[in-house]
Every structure is written in structure tokens, then in C-alpha cells.
Amino acid sequence: MSHQVCTVPESVQLVFQDGGKTPRGFVVNLFRKVFGRHQRDAYALSMLIERQDKAACGPFPPSVAKALFDAAQERIRAEGHTLQITSEPAGETEAPDPSEIQFEWARDAIAWHFADIPPNSLVTMVRQFPGHMRADIQIAIDKLFTSPVRFFGLQQRWTLEKLSFAQLRRAGDDPVWLASPQYHEIDIGEATPIKCLRIPTIATTRYDGLRPPIPIDRDQRDGAVRCIF
């Protein structure tokens, strides 16, 4: 007579599937309230579920995973949403690093960065510098952002378009698209030229909540550089 031995995995991860049917706000709140995730992580995970129809969270000890599963299911059933949760041994589905999430539109990058701050609490200031100061501005940005930084290129629809913070948050059918950042070298008379970002560009930190993103634009008529803080 053969005997089957059932082993309990040492750690378990929970996998979320939805297909974009559950409101993002509910998913974000679920990750925050039940799983104790930071608002920024919760926002990133909700985006991954929308894009890939699947995202893993964990690993957890089996007993903890069951408690989280039950608490999450209770909230989902109470709201009548279609978000599905399954459990599996840790490692079967790659658990993403929320800080590495890729964005297609500026509005999502801005929303991710300011996940803890209501839009009506944000105040911006614009400073304009002469075009010949581009190298100095680049040096200042490199010093300002000492923690890991993500630079995004911004797609301009028209050559003379000036991008504002409000435009970067534009939703609907006409969002501002992100692109790969581009660099070029500026000779400043020293042995090594300065590697400057082409503009328009946006710079954001990964998890340094004290540093705001800095949209950087350039006036095509006089070469002036505009920084929005």
C-alpha cells in the first residue's frame, strides 16, 4: 500500500488576478489596510494587476497567509468585486519589486511618486534659467538627488509646447507619454564634458519622500531652461 505525504510549504505567496474590473482605489486600499503596504507600493501593485492581470504578494508564513487571505476575501465579498486571490508556494510566480515598476504615462509616474499626498496639497514653483546654465543645472540635479533616481523622457506634441505640472497629470485620451531619457555632452572647457539630460525630462526619486519630482523643460525660442519644483 502506498502512502502520500502532503508537505506544507515553509512560505506562501498570494496571487491576485482581476483583468482591470476592480476599481484601482479599492485594490490600493486593500493592500494598505490588509497587507500593510506603503501607499506607493500599493499603487504600483494595483497597476501591475491591471496590466498583467496577475501580481504576487509575499512570501508569508502559511498561518499569516491564511489570515491575510481571509481578511482580504471578506472585504472583496462585502464590496461585490471580482478580484480573485489564490495561494501558492513562494516563488512559483515572480513577486515584483514595486519600486521597479515601469510607466507609460507621466500621470502614472506622478501619481506613484505622490501616492501619500492629495493633489490639492501640492504646490509648485517655476524657475527659469538661461540656456548657458544647462551644465550647472545638471550638476545641481546630480547633487540634489543623492538617492537612486529615475529619469523619464517626456514626449512633446509640439516643438513650442511648454509642459506644466498640470499637463503631466493629464488623463483621458491625451496623456503625456513617457520615453527613454536621452543625454548629450556639453563641453565646459575641462578634461571631461558634462553629460546632460536632453529635455523635456522628469526626475523622480524611488523612495525618498522628501524630494519632489522635477520636470525640466526648455524654451525652444531662447534656450531657457525651466524647472518646476
CA angle 38–44–45, rounded 5-degree value: 90
Q: What is the pLDDT along the chain (229 residues), one digit of tens a residue?
A: 444 444 556 788 999 998 668 998 899 999 999 999 988 888 888 888 888 888 888 889 999 999 999 999 999 999 999 999 999 888 777 766 766 777 888 888 888 877 777 777 877 777 777 777 778 877 877 777 666 667 777 776 666 666 777 777 877 777 888 877 777 788 888 888 887 776 556 655 544 444 555 566 655 554 555 555 4
Whether residues 113 and 217 share a domain: the answer is yes
Say if pTM beats, i.e. exceeds, 0.75.
no
Domain end point (choices 100, 132, 150)? 100
**CATH number of the CATH domain containing 37:** 3.30.1390.10
Question: What total number of domains does the chain contain?
Answer: 2
Whether residues 134 and 158 share a domain: the answer is yes
Residue 2 belongs to some domain of the structure: no
CA nearest 150: which of 194, 206, 195? 206
Domain that holds residue 181: 106-228
Instruction: Report yes or no: 104 and 48 within 8 Å, Cβ to Cβ.
Output: no
Whether residues 49 and 158 share a domain: the answer is no
